[in-house]
Structure 1
Amino acid sequence: MILDEIVQKTREELENRKKEYPLEWLGRSLAYNPYMPRDVKKALQSTPERPYRIIAEVKKASPSKGIIREDFEPVSIAKAYELGGADALSILTEPHYFKGNLEYITQVRRYVPMPLLRKDFIIDSYQILEALVYGADFILLIAAALKASELKELLEYARHLGLEVLVEIHNKEDLTKAIWAGADIIGINHRDLQTFEMHMNLCHELIPLIPQGKIIVAESGLSSPKTLEELHGIGVDAFLIGEHFMRQKDVTQALLDIYPLNKK
């Protein structure tokens, strides 16, 4: 199963990083950290003027599709997304399967004002501290990759550091974990991370089970204004879109096309 494989690779990589940059080193670096986490919930919540929000993804590759964008310049892509009206950015930092890098967060943070998500397979508090040090404003926690107790512990640690958390779910079991852990922002991923199969009805199945007051994010398989309007109609507040944008020559125009409200 690919999720298990990625998590195992992440554990191995993490042990190496901890030796090279001990936790104490990360902690000391916070004293020189110029970044204060930005207001993620405000960026993702619906308003009458802006009914739903877009988290645009900076993504070079994926395990299922290989290289998605050859001309990959994270800062240029981020600035193009800003011109298109993105509300937040998702930055892939997993190096082996998604060709990401933590440094991309720091590079992008210098040039764009919107909140940044560290999108990775986070299984340890060390990675959360890394996210803060490198300039992220919120992190992804994947319910399927964690025990309920682990999810709760990592979520609370992130909040302690001032970071928000997007908890990603794929089924009812994941949703139960997310609610028990205290998630405020819940991402429904249409892509099964074990098989990569798409389940585009998942929002319809899970949203009725989500308590009021949660910010709901739909992820994967999103490429048309009609789909976004339909899912917003059943309760989705924000959409995380990566592959569709990354395959377009002009990502600014692609964002404007999928969400006409962005046009000035």
Structure 2
Amino acid sequence: MNILDSIIQRKKEEISVAKSHISIQQLKDSEFFGKEKFSLKQNIKDKNGIIAEFKRKSPSKGIINNQSSPLEVVSAYENFGASGISILTDKDFFGGNFEDILNVRNHINIPILRKDFMVDEYQFYEAKSIGADVVLLIASCLSHQQVQEFTALAHELGMEVLLEIHTEEELNHFNLEIDLVGINNRNLKDFKVDLQHSVQLKNQLPKGVLSIAESGIYSIENFKYLTEQGFDGFLMGEYFMKNKNPDKAFEEFISNTI
């Protein structure tokens, strides 16, 4: 069993427990469920295209930063021009939780991506209830039919969809209802990074689809290369979070690239 299989197995266990404690109706009754959402798709077009991530740890890197305050970091991301915020909500493998979104939602006015492994419709109601504007669908975890059904549900709930792919086969998961396509530079099964592979996949997307380069962007040179290759957006977390002051790292990055 690879790490992705382990994560999905654990995720399904978590969902089962969550369903037994909180009903979908209770999620619908939450503070944020009825609030208007921000559009990441529009912000990618209008701003610098960076989706800046708050991330404590990962299976491949271990602890990245367990000291910084979510509110302090994401507020700086917004202040220095990020198009959107990505926040991990997986606890066991990434050290995330719902509180990281709940505690910042009322303090920032740009879209928040709930970054997690979405494998059950219940999670979409969760995402809406905590104030997420966008959900991530990882093609390697889902069937083509699930991507279609989950996309329809997300839109019904007023959220946008970022579809993540890594292989040519996963290009088949795309449909015209998808808002943005993320191409993961890192293989989730073995965590190897290949920027050129991502460029090749991007070039096979239908014309006009907004493309997001995800993960493995370790330097300004990586960023500039992917920009030159035509990516519309960039999901970046570790580059900033590995610093003692991620907010300062983001400010410096912006000053050197944008």
TM-score tier by shorter-chain length is: over 0.9
Query: How far does the alpha carbon of each residue in 1:114-152 deviate from its partner, in whole angstroms, 9 at most, with x for none?
Result: 110000000111101111110001010100000110111
Structure 1 segments, 4+ long, off by >3 Å, are none
> Which structure 1 segments of 5+ residues have no match?
none
Pairing of 1:1-16 with structure 2 (within 5 A):
1-16=2-17
Give the equivalent residue in structure 2 for 1:102: 98
Is the aligned partner of 1:236 residue 2:231? yes
**Structure 2 residue 37 is the aligned partner of structure 1 residue 37:** yes
Q: Is the 8 A contact 1:148 1:181 kept in 2?
A: no
Shift in Å at residue 14 of structure 1? 0.2
Counterpart code for 2:92? H
Q: 2:44 is matched by which residue type in structure 1? A: L
CA RMSD of aligned residues (A): 1.8
Q: Structure 1 length normalisation: TM-score?
A: 0.91
* 2:51 aligned counterpart, secondary structure: strand
Cα drift, residue 250 of structure 1: 2.7
Task: Tell me the equivalent position of 2:89.
Answer: 93
Describe the SS at the equivalent of 2:161: strand
Shift of residue 103, structure 1, vs aligned partner = 1.7
Aligned ranges 1:133-148 → 2 under 5 Å: 133-148=129-144
Letter in 1 for 2:16: E
**C-alpha separation in 2, matches of 1:261 and 1:248:** 16
Q: Identify which of 74, 79, 82 aligns with 2:78.
A: 82
Listed as ranges, the gaps of 5+ residues in structure 2 are none
Question: What letter matches 1:72 in structure 2?
Answer: S
1:175 aligns with 2:171: yes
Residue 211 of structure 1 pairs with residue 206 of structure 2: yes
Give the SS at the match of 2:29: helix
Greater mean deviation of Cα atoms: 210-219 or 230-239: 230-239
- CA distance in 1: counterparts of 2:83 and 2:40, whole angstroms: 9
Structure 1 residues 163 and 26: alpha-carbon distance in aligned structure 2, compared to 1, 3 A threshold: same
- Of the three residues 107, 111, 114, the one matched with 1:115 is 111
CA distance in 1, matches of 2:235, 2:207: 21
Kindly provide the CA deviation profile for residues 1-47 of structure 1, in whole angstroms up to 9, marking residues without a partner as x. 111110110000000000000122223337x74631112211112x5
Letter in 1 for 2:128: L
Q: Could you tell me the percent identity over the aligned residues?
A: 38
Deviation at 1:181, TM superposition (A): 6.6
TM-score by length of structure 2 reads 0.93
Distance 2:165 2:191 in 1: 14
